[in-house]
Structure 1
């Protein structure tokens, strides 16, 4: 009994250390984003919201935010459209090479992001998609599709296929049964996958750095470029907004997963 208690305390201690390692940097970025000065220094000389105003009003930051939203929404729609029927086929289908196909689709989850970026750069340079927003949407959709596939497959594991047979016996076509029976019941999994896919695209910087020009610069790339070119508290303000936005979306995902369970 004593050993189990110590194991529990050890697990809690390791969890606390990991969380502290991940969260403590935020306590440095937040005061820097609220500084009244012009440099990223601590302690701050005073407090001001001016840098959040800069991020939300400066044309360069606004354009970067708009690019991130457009690319994120476009890649999410494409990833969901491709991954949802693929998940149905992989879960319910019985065909040779099913495991190999699943592994190929899930490859972006395990490959280093820089390899995907270099590969995309070489391919897009050949087909003429370099520097285009549509090219970045396609690249991010390929990165996000395995995430959607995973959440939809998890939802399909608990789905009663008898409902589809019942719909077919009542005269529903396969597409009608998919749209009116299957999709509403797995909607929490699809929605959770879509939100995570959007976060993946919205926060991605490596592929965006390889494939985009200054006109298609996304918010994470704007932050990364700002760190290299000009250290401004606006970078910290943008980072705080990015973290808060991602945290809000993850909270929605958590609520949807509880509902799905």
Structure 2
């Protein structure tokens, strides 16, 4: 092992980052949840007196396996996060970072995204003007969030309607239709993106007024493409919520004179709302992280954050990419935390877990 990885500063930095990310990311992910909360549980839980030597070996083998899986999953993030604070324009740990020298750490790459606190060309200090002058990343941020929000709305509406229809016992060919609707999760993304390119570019050419050349290189086409990729997540989460739904509540509402809209808004929607929001968050993350469909469907003016990062790695390597990646990781952690909290709330509403 090289001296680089024996340095106390590097080990301290690695350990602190691991503890922080282990705690935060575990809230959202199932694997992380099992590892962070399962390891202490099994480690502290005493085996019964009649446990054999094989049972004890199995317990510690399980702990070792979970630990290795956790290290394998978290290691890429452990490298990205500290490197995003590097004061030097390198994709490696400098000697100052190893020794935890404060001068070796900087926010310059985060400032480079928004250019806040820097001097304007006329010599004045400004934050908003500098932020909007960095057109490359700001355009990517604006495009990403616009597409993510619009496609999430479309995916949530369509996915919820599909889940409600598929949950009805009299629905014919439910399994086949469900498999078809969630196929974007199964089919390789490059195949889906190729199909979207030909469908929106050739089939839709001249169909809609104002889009005589098709929907390729348009925000509408990108929104529909991202919504297509997000619909399966909404269907799965809403369908899971409806699995414990008592349909006698619908009959009771109709028996009291409520129409279909009132029954949906007052009876069905409050119970499936956690699943709807969870699906919407997954659709939002999917859109925010999508790059393959953008490569096929977008031009330069419609670059998103992942597409800009991909281009930056090929054309202009800068640690700013690491800063953007760290921000996206923090956003994913926050969204996955919200998903986990909504999942627990949904279980409490359906009586599957104690309040």
Give the TM bin, normalised by the shorter chain: over 0.9
Question: For 1:94-139, what per-residue CA distance to the aligned partner results, in whole angstroms no more than 9, with x for missing partners?
Answer: 2332211111001111111111111111112212111111111101
Superposition deviation, residue 44 in structure 1: 6.4
Superposition deviation, residue 209 in structure 1: 1.4
- Equivalent position of 2:210 in the other structure: none
- Equivalent position of 2:56 in the other structure: 5
User: Higher helix proportion, which one?
Assistant: 1
Check whether the contact 1:90–1:98 (CA below 8 A) recurs between aligned residues. Answer: yes
Question: For 1:193-237, what per-residue CA distance to the aligned partner results, in whole angstroms no more than 9, with x for missing partners?
Answer: 111110011111111111111111000111111011111010000
Check whether the contact 1:30–1:236 (CA below 8 A) recurs between aligned residues. Answer: yes
Q: Which runs of 5+ in 1 are unaligned?
A: none
Check whether the contact 2:110–2:323 (CA below 8 A) recurs between aligned residues. Answer: yes
Query: What's the TM-score, normalizing by structure 1?
Result: 0.96
Q: Which runs of 5+ in 2 are unaligned?
A: 1-50, 97-103, 115-130, 205-213, 348-355
Distance 2:63 2:229 in 1: 33
Would you say 1:94 and 2:170 are equivalent positions? yes
Mapping 1:65-80, distance limit 5 Å: 65-80=141-156
2:70 aligned to 3, 6, 19, which one? 19
Secondary structure of the residue aligned to 2:302 is coil
Check whether the contact 1:131–1:211 (CA below 8 A) recurs between aligned residues. Answer: yes
Would you say 1:209 and 2:295 are equivalent positions? yes
- Point out the more displaced range, 210-219 or 39-48: 39-48
Residues paired across the two proteins, number:
261
Distance 2:338 2:55 in 1: 34
Q: What value does the CA root-mean-square deviation take over the aligned residues?
A: 1.4
Distance 2:343 2:197 in 1: 35
Question: For 1:7-31, what per-residue CA distance to the aligned partner results, in whole angstroms no more than 9, with x for missing partners?
Answer: 3332332222122112112221122
Mapping 1:20-169, distance limit 5 Å: 20-43=71-94, 46-56=104-114, 57=131, 58-126=134-202, 127=204, 128-169=214-255
Secondary structure of the residue aligned to 2:63 is helix
Would you say 1:172 and 2:258 are equivalent positions? yes
Query: What's the TM-score, normalizing by structure 2?
Result: 0.71
